[in-house]
């Protein structure tokens, strides 16, 4: 496709499209020298990401706030950026027990483009609107459009369509002062600079985008209460490794290393780790623990609050009451308790 002079001028100024002087002459290097150069360049990515942590935090808060109102987080991208979005989204349900569409991805060319490059589609902004309409974008959702260049027409159009619906809009790019930033509520501009192979933005730019996506999805899920401290409390066992991990997670959450006890409680909870932990810590039944989670809209910390079990306290044994109050004291530290046992 022939580009106009204005587009060519913009592309020529992008830092990701420049030649990297640090890797010039690489074809004559030994393999180890080549790998050392790539590694040195990769080490700069985390530093660049650290420069924009404030913007990443703004994006997390925006997404989480809208998700608490029933919204979803949808990555939008083409090429490498879209594939990274699919990867990050696919890993959230097994890790955090969220719905399949809570964090998802809409990519130019659809799922087929994950395995077979369809890079020409990035220039067709009108396709983004059609793709998001077909997917069913809603006002409470947040679109996270990812593009190394920061000017991809597909992504710009996606952000504009999101605005027309009243959605949240986040731009994740690897060039400063990007066009996409002007179409977003929050712009995350990670200036990764020239690639080892000129223009190959699957390298440093792709690494930066994956690092930011890890932060976005992880922090949003924490804000949504899908963890117990730093434990994967909503994980589901689908293989031997995950099953054993769940037993260890239970032991960590309740402070009891006895894995036989963990198996017993997991059996009583029908394999639901979050329910098993609530049962153990609060001395309640599976049904009562599940109801507390439901009342808290799947937010584990809310289900852990004593108020969730007010209706149960009249039936607590002295031992359970003391154990629960000690747990609450440990978590809140500053609060004082008065225990009255009849």
Catalytic residues: 91, 122
Phi, psi for 262 (deg, rounded to 5)? -60, -45
Q: Where are the alpha helices (DSSP H) in 51-176?
A: 53-67, 79-96, 112-115, 125-135, 153-165
CA 322 to chain centre: 38
Give yes or no for a contact between 26 and 37, defined as CB atoms under 8 angstroms apart.
yes
Tokens 């149960």 locate to: 312
Collapsing DSSP states into helix, strand and coil, what is residue 40?
A: helix
Beta bridge partners of 106: 76
SS3 189: strand
Those residues whose C-beta lies under 8 Å from the C-beta of residue 142, and which sit 6 or more positions away, are 62, 63, 66, 67, 71, 72, 73, 74, 162, 167, 168, 169, 170
Q: Are 26 and 196 in contact (CB under 8 A)?
A: yes
Contacts of 202 (CB under 8 A, 6+ apart): 79, 80
């Amino acid at each position: 496709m022939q580009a106009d002079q204005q587009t060519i001028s913009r592309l020529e100024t992008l830092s990701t499209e420049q030649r990297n002087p640090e890797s010039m002459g690489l074809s004559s290097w030994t393999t180890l020298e080549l790998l050392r150069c790539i590694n040195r360049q990769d080490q700069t990515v985390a530093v660049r990401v650290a420069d924009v942590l404030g913007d990443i935090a703004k994006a997390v808060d925006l997404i989480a706030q809208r998700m608490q109102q029933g919204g979803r987080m949808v990555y939008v991208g083409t090429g490498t950026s879209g594939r990274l979005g699919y990867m990050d989204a696919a890993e959230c349900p097994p890790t955090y027990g969220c719905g399949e569409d809570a964090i998802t991805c809409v990519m130019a060319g659809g799922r087929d483009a994950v395995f077979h490059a369809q890079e020409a589609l990035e220039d067709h902004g009108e396709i983004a609107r059609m793709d998001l309409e077909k997917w069913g974008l809603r006002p409470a959702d947040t679109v996270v459009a990812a593009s190394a260049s920061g000017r991809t027409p597909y992504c710009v159009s996606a952000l504009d369509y999101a605005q027309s619906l009243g959605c949240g809009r986040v731009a994740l790019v690897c060039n400063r002062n990007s066009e996409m930033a002007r179409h977003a509520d929050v712009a995350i501009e990670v200036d990764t600079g020239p690639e080892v192979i000129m223009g190959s933005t699957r390298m440093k730019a792709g690494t930066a985008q994956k690092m930011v996506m890890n932060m976005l999805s992880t922090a949003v899920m924490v804000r949504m209460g899908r963890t117990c401290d730093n434990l994967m409390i909503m994980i589901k066992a689908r293989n031997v490794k995950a099953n054993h991990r769940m037993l260890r997670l239970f032991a960590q959450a309740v402070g009891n290393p006895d894995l036989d006890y963990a198996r017993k409680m997991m059996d009583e909870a029908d394999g639901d780790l979050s329910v098993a932990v609530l049962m153990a810590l609060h001395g309640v039944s599976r049904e009562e623990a599940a109801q507390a989670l439901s009342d808290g809209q799947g937010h584990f910390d809310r289900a852990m609050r004593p108020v969730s079990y007010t209706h149960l306290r009249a039936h607590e044994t002295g031992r359970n009451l003391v154990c629960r109050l000690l747990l609450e004291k440990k978590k809140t530290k500053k609060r004082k308790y008065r225990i009255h046992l009849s």
